[in-house]
Structure 1
Amino acid sequence: MDFFQIELMKLKRQKIWILVLIGPVVGTFLGSFNYTSSLDILSKSGTNEWYQLWTQVTFFYGLFLLPILSGIYAIFLCRTDHLTGGWKQLFSMPVKREKIFVSKLVLLVLLLLFTQITQCLLFVIVGKLLGLQDEMNLVFFFKAVINGWIAIFPIATFQLILAIKTKSFMLSLSLNVLFTFFSLVMMVVNLEQYYPWALPSIAMASPTETGLTHSLSYFYALVFTLSLILYIWGNRTINKSEKIL
């Protein structure tokens, strides 16, 4: 049995799959509530109804819930190892320790992909229930979901490193929430395009919002560079076992 299957079994026991549903449900509920509450104002703008609803949903989900969920997933991926002495067991296996980090990271980004897909499906269902009449641009929403997922890679990698390095659930969660809400500060000073925690929301922004002001090439280059740097850091961290045990 490889490390990925081991990590998968750990998560099944912790029932983390519930969070994959709860996060998008909360984001969709808050966004749709805000949409219906402001319907009189929004209806006068003449903007596509699907874009209006998406804007409200992604404000809560993309800016706050997705980054926070990413950190919680990372904590759960390392929680069992911290509590049961699992690091010693993993490090005693005759394989490279980098494989441990890669397995956890792959599972983390897959969880985030499932979360994105769940969010999109709930969004469509709620939109249909609300009786939105405008045409739905499926190509845009597909790109938004994928770009939002890609944008979370640097954050997820950093959060996994943090979860590995500390046993404290509350410390990891508190730092994650702090960095997430700091996105609002970055928006005030117009630096959100360069702040990783704000990138998922920007990458998923509707055409009626101020999304990525730079090209997609710049966006992918920034995400790839940050992810690569953090990935190298993560591999070095996992090799310094004395900092974890």
Structure 2
Amino acid sequence: MLLRCIRAENRKLHASPIWFMFFILPIISAGYGTFNYLQNLEILRDGWYSLWTQHTLFYSLFFFPCMVAVYAAYLWRLEHIGHNWNLIMAEPVPPFYLFLAKLLVVTKLVLLTQAFVFVLYWFCGRVFAGFTAPPPAITIFYLVRSVLGGLAVVAAQLLFSMVIRSFALPVFLGLAGGVSGMLLASRGYWYVWPYCLMQRGMNANQSSDMLADSYLGFALACVGWLALILLAVQLLLSHQDVKVR
């Protein structure tokens, strides 16, 4: 049943307008980061690492949470039309499977987005910054662990979009989450808010490894926040009767 739900969610992506955003936002972020790097060569002297700090600064704070919010809101849009929730709740499929299918599909989109971000990082470094050596392998590791940190953001945005009919409000909450995550992380409280975790995992705006001494805490925070949000979703779907719309 879960596989059928995943296939249904994947069909929503065919010729979807979100692909325009998938391409354009990372390009804007990479362009801004590259421009900022080239304008500050006198202080940004660590080559690929310095370029990484500029590419990830605004991407992790603003673009990533907004993109995930749009992905989530788009996948929930059909369920919020008319009385579709009543039809869904009457289907012989656990409602939690519907949420889990959306979680897996958005995670796939996040993986594709992160891969595209790395391609842009490599391209800008070679073409505009003039680097001849390949990008540091650890930047790929940063991207992979940022996906782990981003799972809680994906789950949170899907939860917001599940309970809020508006398309724009969850996107605004994603933006607010990214900004608040930056503020909390700057004070050392990165583990108390899920939007901090992606920024931390991506090593945003840092040349040295921000998780050098806290990998276990990072993993526990990622798993803990994801489990907490999924539990909240299960409780809502089983006790609040979301079909009443």
Pairwise same-fold verdict (TM > 0.5): yes
- Alpha-carbon distance between aligned partners in 1 of 2:202 and 2:79, rounded to the nearest angstrom: 34
Please tell me whether the aligned partners of residues 35 and 56 of structure 1 are also in contact (alpha carbons under 8 angstroms): yes
Alignment partner, residue 241 of structure 2: 241
Give the fraction of aligned pairs with identical amino acids, expressed as a percent.
24
Judged with a 3 Å threshold, the aligned counterparts in structure 2 of structure 1 residues 226 and 244 are, in CA distance, closer, same or farther, namely farther
Q: Does 1:40 align with 2:37?
A: no
Q: Deviations over 1:190-210 (max 9, x none)?
A: 323543212212212277246
CA distance in structure 1 between the aligned counterparts of 2:186 and 2:136, rounded to whole angstroms: 30
Runs of at least 5 residues in structure 1 that lack an aligned partner in the other structure: none
Query: Structure 1 counterpart of 2:171, which letter?
Result: L
CA contact 2:33–2:55 (8 Å) conserved in 1: yes
- Equivalent position SS for 1:160: helix
Equivalent residues of 1:73, 1:108 under 8 A apart? yes
- Structure 2 distance, partners of 1:28, 1:71, is 20
Following superposition, the deviation at residue 100 of structure 1 comes to 0.7
AA at the equivalent of 2:215: L
Residues 79-228 of structure 1: pairs in structure 2 closer than 5 A = 79-130=77-128, 131-134=130-133, 136-138=135-137, 140-205=138-203, 208-209=207-208, 211-212=210-211, 214-228=213-227
Residue type of the alignment partner of 1:4: I
Aligned residues: 240
Structure 2 match to 1:232 = 231
Deviation, structure 1 residue 79: 1.2
The answer to whether the Cα contact below 8 Å between 2:36 and 2:54 also exists between their aligned partners in 1 is: yes
Partner SS, residue 42 of structure 1: coil
Alpha carbons of 1:30 and 1:84: their partners in 2 closer, same or farther (altered >3 Å)? farther
For residues 210 and 81 of structure 2, the distance between their equivalents in structure 1, rounded to whole angstroms, comes to 41
Q: Write the distance in 2 (CA, Å) between the matches of 1:78 and 1:32.
A: 35
Higher mean alpha-carbon deviation, 216-225 vs 186-195, is at 186-195
- Distance (Å, rounded) in 2 between the aligned partners of 1:55 and 1:23: 17
SS in 2 for 1:112: helix
* Cα distance, 1:58–1:243 mapped onto 2, change above 3 Å: same
- Compared CA separation, residues 244 and 106, structure 1 to 2 (3 A): farther
Q: In the TM superposition, what is the alpha-carbon distance from 1:182 to its structure 2 partner?
A: 1.4
CA distance in 2 between counterparts of 1:13 and 1:94 reads 29
Q: Is the 8 Å Cα contact of residues 32 and 57 (structure 1) preserved in structure 2?
A: yes
Q: Tell me whether 99-108 or 176-185 shows the greater mean CA deviation.
A: 176-185
In the aligned structure 1, how far is the partner of 2:244 from the partner of 2:142? 37
Provide the C-alpha distance between the structure 2 equivalents of 1:71 and 1:214, rounded to a whole number of angstroms: 31
Aligned counterparts of 1:212 and 1:219: Cα–Cα separation in 2: 8
CA apart distance, 1:223: 0.3
Letter in structure 2 aligned against 1:68 = C
For residues 60-88 of structure 1, what are the alpha-carbon distances to aligned partners after superposition, in whole Å with 9 as ceiling and x for unaligned?
A: 11222112211111111101211243322
Equivalent pair of 1:74/1:108 in contact (CA under 8 Å): yes
**SS of match in other structure, 1:12:** coil
**In structure 1, what residue type is equivalent to 2:217?**
Y
**Shift in Å, 1:212:** 2.2
**Mean Cα displacement is larger for which, 195-204 or 209-218?**
209-218
Alpha-carbon displacement from aligned partner over 1:138-173 (angstroms, at most 9, x marks no partner): 2x0221111111101111111101100010122222
User: Secondary structure at the residue paired with 1:152?
Assistant: helix
**Distance in structure 1 (CA, Å) of the matches to 2:29 and 2:210:** 19
1:227 CA drift (Å) = 0.5
TM-score by length of 1: 0.89
What does 1:48-63 correspond to in 2, within 5 Å? 49-63=47-61
Quote the Cα distance in structure 1 between the aligned partners of 2:153 and 2:200: 14
